[in-house]
Amino acid sequence: MNELDKDSWAGRARTLLDESAEGLDAATLSRLNRARQIALAQARPRAAQRWFLPAGLASACVLLLAVAVWHWQVPSGAARLPELPFAASASAAGSDIDLVSGDDNLELYQDLEFYAWLDAQDQGSDG
Amino acid sequence: MHTMTPTIPLTLAASWISERVDAAKDDERTLDQFLKGIERRALRMAELATANRDEALDLVQDAMFGFVRHYATKPADEWSPLFYRVLDSRLNDWHRRRHVRSRWLAVFTRDPEDDETDEIAQAPDVNDPGPLLRLAGGEAARDLDAALGRLPLRQRQAFLLRVWEGFDVAATANAMRCSEGSVKTHLSRALTALRRALEDHA
Protein backbone atom coordinates (compact mmCIF):
# COMPACT_ATOMS: atom_id res chain seq x y z
CA MET A 1 0.00 0.00 0.00
CA ASN A 2 3.01 2.28 0.51
CA GLU A 3 3.50 2.48 -3.20
CA LEU A 4 -0.13 3.54 -3.66
CA ASP A 5 0.11 6.16 -0.93
CA LYS A 6 3.14 7.62 -2.63
CA ASP A 7 1.14 7.94 -5.84
CA SER A 8 -1.61 10.20 -4.55
CA TRP A 9 -2.84 10.70 -8.09
CA ALA A 10 -3.99 7.09 -7.89
CA GLY A 11 -6.89 8.37 -5.76
CA ARG A 12 -7.81 10.80 -8.51
CA ALA A 13 -7.60 7.96 -11.02
CA ARG A 14 -9.97 5.95 -8.83
CA THR A 15 -12.46 8.81 -8.78
CA LEU A 16 -12.30 9.17 -12.55
CA LEU A 17 -12.84 5.45 -13.03
CA ASP A 18 -15.81 5.51 -10.64
CA GLU A 19 -17.33 8.39 -12.57
CA SER A 20 -16.87 6.58 -15.86
CA ALA A 21 -18.62 3.50 -14.45
CA GLU A 22 -21.48 5.57 -13.06
CA GLY A 23 -21.87 7.46 -16.31
CA LEU A 24 -22.67 4.47 -18.50
CA ASP A 25 -25.55 5.09 -20.90
CA ALA A 26 -28.99 3.51 -20.55
CA ALA A 27 -28.56 1.16 -23.51
CA THR A 28 -25.39 -0.29 -22.02
CA LEU A 29 -27.01 -0.66 -18.61
CA SER A 30 -29.93 -2.44 -20.23
CA ARG A 31 -27.58 -4.88 -21.92
CA LEU A 32 -25.77 -5.44 -18.65
CA ASN A 33 -29.08 -6.14 -16.95
CA ARG A 34 -29.99 -8.63 -19.66
CA ALA A 35 -26.62 -10.33 -19.37
CA ARG A 36 -27.10 -10.61 -15.61
CA GLN A 37 -30.55 -12.10 -15.97
CA ILE A 38 -29.26 -14.67 -18.48
CA ALA A 39 -26.47 -15.64 -16.11
CA LEU A 40 -28.88 -15.97 -13.20
CA ALA A 41 -31.39 -17.95 -15.26
CA GLN A 42 -28.88 -20.74 -15.82
CA ALA A 43 -28.52 -21.08 -12.04
CA ARG A 44 -32.24 -21.68 -11.49
CA PRO A 45 -32.58 -25.19 -12.93
CA ARG A 46 -29.39 -26.20 -11.17
CA ALA A 47 -30.70 -24.90 -7.85
CA ALA A 48 -33.91 -26.83 -8.39
CA GLN A 49 -32.03 -29.97 -9.40
CA ARG A 50 -29.93 -29.67 -6.28
CA TRP A 51 -33.04 -30.38 -4.21
CA PHE A 52 -34.46 -33.09 -6.44
CA LEU A 53 -32.42 -35.88 -4.88
CA PRO A 54 -33.02 -35.01 -1.19
CA ALA A 55 -36.66 -34.18 -1.90
CA GLY A 56 -37.12 -37.45 -3.76
CA LEU A 57 -35.42 -39.41 -0.99
CA ALA A 58 -37.51 -37.66 1.64
CA SER A 59 -40.70 -38.44 -0.28
CA ALA A 60 -39.66 -42.07 -0.70
CA CYS A 61 -38.90 -42.36 3.02
CA VAL A 62 -42.24 -40.83 3.93
CA LEU A 63 -44.04 -43.18 1.56
CA LEU A 64 -42.18 -46.17 2.96
CA LEU A 65 -42.99 -45.11 6.49
CA ALA A 66 -46.67 -44.69 5.62
CA VAL A 67 -46.83 -48.16 4.05
CA ALA A 68 -44.98 -49.69 7.01
CA VAL A 69 -47.32 -48.07 9.53
CA TRP A 70 -50.36 -49.16 7.55
CA HIS A 71 -49.14 -52.77 7.32
CA TRP A 72 -48.26 -52.85 10.98
CA GLN A 73 -51.73 -51.79 12.01
CA VAL A 74 -53.93 -53.76 9.58
CA PRO A 75 -53.15 -57.46 10.44
CA SER A 76 -54.07 -57.13 14.13
CA GLY A 77 -57.72 -58.26 13.72
CA ALA A 78 -57.34 -60.55 10.71
CA ALA A 79 -57.72 -64.35 11.01
CA ARG A 80 -54.52 -66.31 10.72
CA LEU A 81 -54.24 -69.33 8.46
CA PRO A 82 -53.10 -72.56 10.10
CA GLU A 83 -49.43 -73.33 9.67
CA LEU A 84 -48.57 -76.29 7.49
CA PRO A 85 -46.15 -79.02 8.48
CA PHE A 86 -42.59 -78.43 7.37
CA ALA A 87 -42.75 -80.63 4.30
CA ALA A 88 -45.88 -78.94 3.01
CA SER A 89 -44.93 -75.39 3.83
CA ALA A 90 -41.52 -75.42 2.10
CA SER A 91 -41.58 -72.73 -0.51
CA ALA A 92 -38.97 -74.00 -2.92
CA ALA A 93 -40.10 -75.23 -6.28
CA GLY A 94 -38.68 -78.62 -5.43
CA SER A 95 -41.24 -79.04 -2.64
CA ASP A 96 -44.08 -78.96 -5.18
CA ILE A 97 -42.43 -81.76 -7.07
CA ASP A 98 -42.03 -83.73 -3.84
CA LEU A 99 -45.71 -83.22 -3.09
CA VAL A 100 -46.71 -84.67 -6.43
CA SER A 101 -44.13 -87.47 -6.66
CA GLY A 102 -43.89 -88.73 -3.06
CA ASP A 103 -46.60 -91.10 -1.83
CA ASP A 104 -46.44 -89.89 1.78
CA ASN A 105 -46.64 -86.26 0.82
CA LEU A 106 -49.57 -86.88 -1.52
CA GLU A 107 -51.34 -88.49 1.37
CA LEU A 108 -50.45 -85.54 3.56
CA TYR A 109 -51.84 -83.19 0.95
CA GLN A 110 -55.11 -85.08 0.91
CA ASP A 111 -55.31 -84.85 4.72
CA LEU A 112 -54.51 -81.15 4.81
CA GLU A 113 -57.85 -80.23 6.37
CA PHE A 114 -57.26 -82.74 9.13
CA TYR A 115 -53.89 -81.22 9.96
CA ALA A 116 -55.39 -77.73 9.94
CA TRP A 117 -58.09 -78.90 12.39
CA LEU A 118 -55.44 -80.59 14.53
CA ASP A 119 -53.40 -77.40 14.62
CA ALA A 120 -56.46 -75.37 15.62
CA GLN A 121 -57.13 -77.86 18.43
CA ASP A 122 -53.56 -77.55 19.65
CA GLN A 123 -53.77 -73.76 19.66
CA GLY A 124 -57.08 -73.92 21.53
CA SER A 125 -55.66 -76.17 24.20
CA ASP A 126 -52.54 -73.89 24.53
CA GLY A 127 -54.62 -70.75 24.99
CA MET B 1 -56.38 -43.05 12.79
CA HIS B 2 -54.57 -45.04 10.13
CA THR B 3 -54.58 -42.20 7.62
CA MET B 4 -53.52 -39.49 10.09
CA THR B 5 -50.13 -40.92 11.03
CA PRO B 6 -48.41 -40.58 7.61
CA THR B 7 -49.58 -36.97 7.19
CA ILE B 8 -47.16 -35.73 9.88
CA PRO B 9 -43.95 -36.66 8.01
CA LEU B 10 -45.57 -35.54 4.75
CA THR B 11 -46.24 -32.11 6.26
CA LEU B 12 -42.69 -31.95 7.60
CA ALA B 13 -41.28 -32.86 4.18
CA ALA B 14 -43.45 -30.24 2.46
CA SER B 15 -42.35 -27.64 5.00
CA TRP B 16 -38.71 -28.57 4.50
CA ILE B 17 -38.97 -28.33 0.72
CA SER B 18 -40.75 -24.99 1.04
CA GLU B 19 -37.95 -23.66 3.25
CA ARG B 20 -35.34 -24.82 0.74
CA VAL B 21 -37.18 -23.10 -2.12
CA ASP B 22 -37.31 -19.85 -0.12
CA ALA B 23 -33.59 -20.18 0.67
CA ALA B 24 -32.84 -20.70 -3.04
CA LYS B 25 -34.78 -17.51 -3.87
CA ASP B 26 -32.81 -15.59 -1.23
CA ASP B 27 -29.56 -16.94 -2.68
CA GLU B 28 -30.57 -15.77 -6.14
CA ARG B 29 -31.48 -12.31 -4.81
CA THR B 30 -28.09 -12.03 -3.09
CA LEU B 31 -26.32 -13.15 -6.25
CA ASP B 32 -28.30 -10.66 -8.32
CA GLN B 33 -27.35 -7.82 -5.97
CA PHE B 34 -23.70 -8.82 -6.09
CA LEU B 35 -23.59 -8.93 -9.89
CA LYS B 36 -25.52 -5.67 -10.12
CA GLY B 37 -22.99 -4.00 -7.86
CA ILE B 38 -19.98 -5.22 -9.79
CA GLU B 39 -21.14 -5.23 -13.42
CA ARG B 40 -20.33 -1.61 -14.26
CA ARG B 41 -16.76 -1.79 -13.06
CA ALA B 42 -16.36 -5.16 -14.75
CA LEU B 43 -17.58 -3.65 -18.01
CA ARG B 44 -15.18 -0.73 -17.77
CA MET B 45 -12.35 -3.13 -16.99
CA ALA B 46 -13.21 -5.25 -20.03
CA GLU B 47 -13.64 -2.14 -22.15
CA LEU B 48 -10.19 -0.91 -21.21
CA ALA B 49 -8.79 -4.29 -22.22
CA THR B 50 -10.63 -4.57 -25.53
CA ALA B 51 -11.27 -0.95 -26.50
CA ASN B 52 -14.61 -2.16 -27.77
CA ARG B 53 -17.85 -1.95 -25.81
CA ASP B 54 -19.65 -4.75 -27.60
CA GLU B 55 -16.82 -7.16 -27.04
CA ALA B 56 -16.55 -5.95 -23.44
CA LEU B 57 -20.25 -6.67 -22.90
CA ASP B 58 -19.84 -10.15 -24.34
CA LEU B 59 -16.88 -10.80 -22.07
CA VAL B 60 -18.72 -9.56 -18.98
CA GLN B 61 -21.74 -11.71 -19.80
CA ASP B 62 -19.44 -14.67 -20.32
CA ALA B 63 -17.73 -13.93 -16.99
CA MET B 64 -21.08 -13.69 -15.20
CA PHE B 65 -22.12 -16.97 -16.73
CA GLY B 66 -18.91 -18.70 -15.69
CA PHE B 67 -19.00 -17.20 -12.23
CA VAL B 68 -22.58 -18.29 -11.57
CA ARG B 69 -21.85 -21.76 -12.89
CA HIS B 70 -18.68 -22.39 -10.90
CA TYR B 71 -18.66 -20.15 -7.86
CA ALA B 72 -22.22 -19.16 -6.96
CA THR B 73 -22.29 -21.74 -4.16
CA LYS B 74 -19.18 -20.27 -2.51
CA PRO B 75 -19.56 -17.92 0.48
CA ALA B 76 -20.63 -14.43 -0.58
CA ASP B 77 -17.56 -12.75 0.92
CA GLU B 78 -15.37 -14.72 -1.51
CA TRP B 79 -17.38 -13.74 -4.58
CA SER B 80 -15.60 -10.56 -5.55
CA PRO B 81 -12.08 -12.00 -6.12
CA LEU B 82 -13.63 -15.08 -7.70
CA PHE B 83 -15.67 -13.02 -10.15
CA TYR B 84 -12.61 -11.04 -11.17
CA ARG B 85 -10.72 -14.30 -11.46
CA VAL B 86 -13.24 -15.48 -14.06
CA LEU B 87 -13.22 -12.10 -15.81
CA ASP B 88 -9.42 -12.06 -15.81
CA SER B 89 -9.40 -15.50 -17.38
CA ARG B 90 -11.81 -14.35 -20.10
CA LEU B 91 -9.71 -11.24 -20.76
CA ASN B 92 -6.58 -13.38 -21.03
CA ASP B 93 -8.30 -15.67 -23.52
CA TRP B 94 -9.49 -12.70 -25.53
CA HIS B 95 -6.02 -11.16 -25.45
CA ARG B 96 -4.41 -14.43 -26.57
CA ARG B 97 -6.82 -14.80 -29.48
CA ARG B 98 -6.27 -11.21 -30.52
CA HIS B 99 -2.52 -11.63 -30.29
CA VAL B 100 -2.57 -14.59 -32.64
CA ARG B 101 -4.82 -12.71 -35.06
CA SER B 102 -2.68 -9.57 -34.93
CA ARG B 103 0.46 -11.57 -35.69
CA TRP B 104 -1.15 -12.68 -38.91
CA LEU B 105 -2.38 -9.19 -39.70
CA ALA B 106 1.04 -7.69 -38.90
CA VAL B 107 2.42 -9.41 -41.96
CA PHE B 108 0.21 -7.18 -44.14
CA THR B 109 0.00 -3.96 -42.11
CA ARG B 110 2.46 -1.60 -40.43
CA ASP B 111 1.72 0.79 -37.55
CA PRO B 112 3.03 4.28 -38.42
CA GLU B 113 3.30 5.16 -34.70
CA ASP B 114 6.13 2.68 -34.37
CA ASP B 115 8.46 5.17 -35.97
CA GLU B 116 7.33 8.19 -33.95
CA THR B 117 8.86 8.78 -30.50
CA ASP B 118 8.84 12.17 -28.80
CA GLU B 119 11.90 12.29 -26.54
CA ILE B 120 10.98 15.65 -24.98
CA ALA B 121 7.49 14.52 -24.05
CA GLN B 122 8.90 11.51 -22.26
CA ALA B 123 11.16 13.53 -19.94
CA PRO B 124 9.64 13.50 -16.38
CA ASP B 125 9.03 16.66 -14.35
CA VAL B 126 10.02 15.89 -10.76
CA ASN B 127 8.22 18.94 -9.30
CA ASP B 128 4.87 18.04 -10.77
CA PRO B 129 2.20 17.26 -8.08
CA GLY B 130 0.57 14.63 -10.26
CA PRO B 131 -0.43 14.32 -13.87
CA LEU B 132 -4.16 13.88 -13.39
CA LEU B 133 -4.49 16.87 -11.06
CA ARG B 134 -3.62 19.22 -13.88
CA LEU B 135 -6.36 18.03 -16.16
CA ALA B 136 -10.03 18.90 -16.31
CA GLY B 137 -12.47 16.03 -15.63
CA GLY B 138 -13.40 14.99 -19.16
CA GLU B 139 -9.94 15.33 -20.55
CA ALA B 140 -8.37 13.55 -17.57
CA ALA B 141 -10.78 10.65 -17.93
CA ARG B 142 -9.99 10.31 -21.61
CA ASP B 143 -6.25 10.46 -20.97
CA LEU B 144 -6.51 7.97 -18.16
CA ASP B 145 -8.52 5.62 -20.38
CA ALA B 146 -5.94 5.94 -23.13
CA ALA B 147 -3.03 5.40 -20.75
CA LEU B 148 -4.70 2.38 -19.17
CA GLY B 149 -5.53 1.03 -22.59
CA ARG B 150 -1.89 1.09 -23.58
CA LEU B 151 -0.75 -0.88 -20.53
CA PRO B 152 -0.02 -4.58 -20.90
CA LEU B 153 -2.97 -6.66 -19.74
CA ARG B 154 -1.38 -7.95 -16.54
CA GLN B 155 -0.19 -4.52 -15.45
CA ARG B 156 -3.60 -3.00 -16.14
CA GLN B 157 -5.36 -5.75 -14.19
CA ALA B 158 -2.99 -5.33 -11.26
CA PHE B 159 -3.60 -1.58 -11.24
CA LEU B 160 -7.38 -1.83 -11.55
CA LEU B 161 -7.77 -4.56 -8.95
CA ARG B 162 -5.44 -2.96 -6.44
CA VAL B 163 -6.22 0.71 -6.96
CA TRP B 164 -9.82 0.68 -8.18
CA GLU B 165 -11.28 -2.40 -6.56
CA GLY B 166 -9.18 -1.90 -3.45
CA PHE B 167 -8.11 -5.54 -3.25
CA ASP B 168 -5.10 -6.34 -1.11
CA VAL B 169 -2.10 -8.04 -2.68
CA ALA B 170 -3.27 -11.55 -1.74
CA ALA B 171 -6.78 -11.07 -3.19
CA THR B 172 -5.30 -9.54 -6.35
CA ALA B 173 -2.93 -12.49 -6.69
CA ASN B 174 -5.88 -14.84 -6.24
CA ALA B 175 -7.90 -13.04 -8.90
CA MET B 176 -4.99 -12.93 -11.32
CA ARG B 177 -3.82 -16.46 -10.50
CA CYS B 178 -0.23 -15.41 -9.92
CA SER B 179 2.11 -14.91 -6.98
CA GLU B 180 1.95 -11.88 -4.69
CA GLY B 181 5.41 -10.93 -5.88
CA SER B 182 4.16 -10.82 -9.45
CA VAL B 183 1.30 -8.56 -8.41
CA LYS B 184 3.74 -6.12 -6.80
CA THR B 185 5.93 -6.14 -9.89
CA HIS B 186 2.99 -5.61 -12.26
CA LEU B 187 1.61 -2.82 -10.10
CA SER B 188 4.92 -1.05 -9.78
CA ARG B 189 5.43 -1.13 -13.53
CA ALA B 190 1.84 0.01 -14.12
CA LEU B 191 2.22 2.99 -11.80
CA THR B 192 5.49 4.00 -13.43
CA ALA B 193 4.06 3.63 -16.92
CA LEU B 194 0.86 5.49 -16.07
CA ARG B 195 2.69 8.34 -14.42
CA ARG B 196 4.93 8.69 -17.43
CA ALA B 197 2.08 8.37 -19.92
CA LEU B 198 -0.13 10.88 -18.16
CA GLU B 199 2.69 13.34 -17.84
CA ASP B 200 3.15 13.05 -21.57
CA HIS B 201 -0.47 14.01 -22.15
CA ALA B 202 -0.53 16.98 -19.77
For A2-37, write each residue's pLDDT tens digit.
Answer: 556 555 778 888 999 999 999 999 999 999 999 999
What is A13-61 written as a DSSP string? HHHHHHHHHHT--HHHHHHHHHHHHHHHHHHHHHHHHHHHHHHHHHHHH
- Residues of A within an 8 Å Cβ radius of B: 3-4, 7-10, 12-14, 16-22, 24, 28-29, 31-32, 35-36, 38-40, 42-44, 47-48, 50-51, 55, 58-59, 61-62, 65-66, 69-70, 73-74
Mean pLDDT of A77-102: 55
Mean pLDDT of B36-61: 94
Calculate how close chain B gets to A79, using CA atoms only, in Å. Answer: 20
Q: Which domains, and CATH codes, for chain B?
A: 25-107 (no CATH), 130-202 (1.10.10.10)
Identify which of A21, A28, A32 has the alpha carbon closest to the alpha carbon of residue B64. Answer: A32
Mean pLDDT of B30-45: 94
Say if the Cβ atoms of B6 and A12 lie within 8 Å: no
Statement: residue B171 has pLDDT above 60: yes
Confidence of residue A80 (pLDDT cuts 50, 70, 90): low
In this structure, which amino acid lies at residue B165?
E
pLDDT at B41: 95
Q: Over the stretch B53-74, which tens digit does the pLDDT of each residue have? A: 999 999 999 999 999 999 988 9
Mean pLDDT of B153-180: 94
pLDDT at B58: 95
Confidence of residue A121 (pLDDT cuts 50, 70, 90): confident
Q: Over the stretch B84-137, which tens digit does the pLDDT of each residue have? A: 999 999 999 998 988 888 777 776 665 555 555 555 544 444 444 455 555 555
* C-alpha span between B161 and B42 (Å, rounded): 10
